[in-house]
Structure 1
């Protein structure tokens, strides 16, 4: 059974991500955990709430959040409900990133699925700041769903890679299962001016082939230019329906995402974006 964590701020975009998750795993047994982290709502924007009022505010806010979460579940279970799906709710007195990361570790969650924007996000970037923080620090695959993306099966998946990272088998199994379930093509895109792989790169590519046996694998190479532009061009050319990247310190992913904003690099991803973590779990 898949265990899926859906952080929600009760925005339209968060609801859209939940509905996408339900469709993605429509034919699979899955438990969806709906989590709302509310510590910031208790402490106030500038941590100005008097200390003697915190406990009362926490109790009051927790009751409000629990009711909202229960109402949310009632609204999405469907009529008739999908017998393969179960739902649990979590009101977390924590900030978003810590609340999500602690729950991921405690329940050994397979994937976090969330919207790219939240209630307080502006419309200048594809990814809200909270989404990028979750990408960076949560030790679990994170799938971000753009607010305007209408669900479609991930038939064509783009996986940019330089074959330098030793992939983690659990994360690749998740990708392999998704690709196998939907009979997807996985396009491994290497952005380079060199035609020959090193021995290390060849080993990692073989591992990739072994782990993704259920997918239709394609290995592509394109010349070096602005890497974000190369990815966006490939998404448009091949009508890609999901982008997958591996997050690791000092990786291409980190260089591309963790400048001041995504917009500075021209990255406006309009398809679901799965970020896999290069960590043992």
Structure 2
């Protein structure tokens, strides 16, 4: 049984993420939790000059509207995509998105978070909205981000840039391994370095990767050091990649992208689904 959490702000991008999730797990028994976190919305829309509603009344009104919207959304999805293997539950949280996602990841033992790359107010000139970047940074669970205009394609070709330096999580590799088995996927492990010889630590981690991704067609490639973001994007284009996978860990390339860049300056702009696996405590 798979457990998937899908945050929604009821935007077209969020709906597209739901569609992707339904296709990705079409043949697998899956519990889908559709979440709306509304703390930021409540604070932003509360008019302190307006004495007609107290803050508690204001939040109660928002929660009522959210509950109705979630029920309508789930009704639309279940009526249009009847699948006996899928179940849906709505979740409402008066929290920030990151806090709400982390709380429900723990409470519901979530395997994967799937969300859009942009929200209602998304800037089309940037790849990842601020909420998506925050989730990438701080959520203790794999996160799969779906571009708003992406039409589902089976993840037949997966690019996995790695330096083999950090230990991988068995549970997260199992998630990827199962996906690869379901779609008979090729996984290209890309080592970006001027040095082909691996340290003992890297050799051990590479061996663990081979063992845990046993159901995938694995390819190991090395490419010279350079602009890593450009190298990754070039490989996506050259290999017609369907899914990009990276690991968020201390001192990793992805961490440097997320922490040292503002949202509109992030150098990596994939136009395909992007799975971020976490090397964070859970």
TM-score past 0.5 threshold: yes
Could you say what secondary structure the match of 2:99 adopts? helix
Structure 1: 5+ residue runs without aligned partners?
Answer: none
1:1-281 equivalences in 2 (<5 Å): 1-44=1-44, 48=48, 53-79=54-80, 81-261=82-262, 263-281=264-282
Specify whether residues 173 and 264 from structure 1 end up closer, same or farther in structure 2 by C-alpha distance, changes over 3 A only.
same
Specify whether residues 265 and 65 from structure 1 end up closer, same or farther in structure 2 by C-alpha distance, changes over 3 A only.
closer
Q: Is the 8 A contact 2:164 2:202 kept in 1?
A: yes
Q: Is the 8 A contact 1:243 1:272 kept in 2?
A: yes
Distance 1:117 1:78 in 2: 26
Could you say what secondary structure the match of 1:77 adopts? helix
The count of corresponding residues between Structure 1 and Structure 2 is 281
Q: CA deviation at 1:80?
A: 6.1
Q: Is the 8 A contact 1:142 1:276 kept in 2?
A: yes
Q: Is the 8 A contact 1:163 1:204 kept in 2?
A: yes
Distance 1:55 1:219 in 2: 56
CA shift digits 1:46-69 (9 cap, x unpaired)? 885889811111211111000000
Q: CA deviation at 1:44?
A: 2.1
Specify whether residues 263 and 59 from structure 1 end up closer, same or farther in structure 2 by C-alpha distance, changes over 3 A only.
closer
Q: Is the 8 A contact 1:168 1:279 kept in 2?
A: no
TM-score (norm 2): 0.95
Structure 2: 5+ residue runs without aligned partners?
Answer: none
Distance 1:216 1:106 in 2: 34
Specify whether residues 260 and 252 from structure 1 end up closer, same or farther in structure 2 by C-alpha distance, changes over 3 A only.
closer
Hey, which bits of structure 1, 4+ residues long, moved more than 3 A? 45-52, 261-266
Q: CA deviation at 1:262?
A: 5.5
Q: Is the 8 A contact 2:140 2:281 kept in 1?
A: no
Q: CA deviation at 1:41?
A: 2.2
Q: CA deviation at 1:261?
A: 3.3
Q: Is the 8 A contact 1:228 1:256 kept in 2?
A: no
Q: CA deviation at 1:95?
A: 1.3
Distance 1:55 1:46 in 2: 10
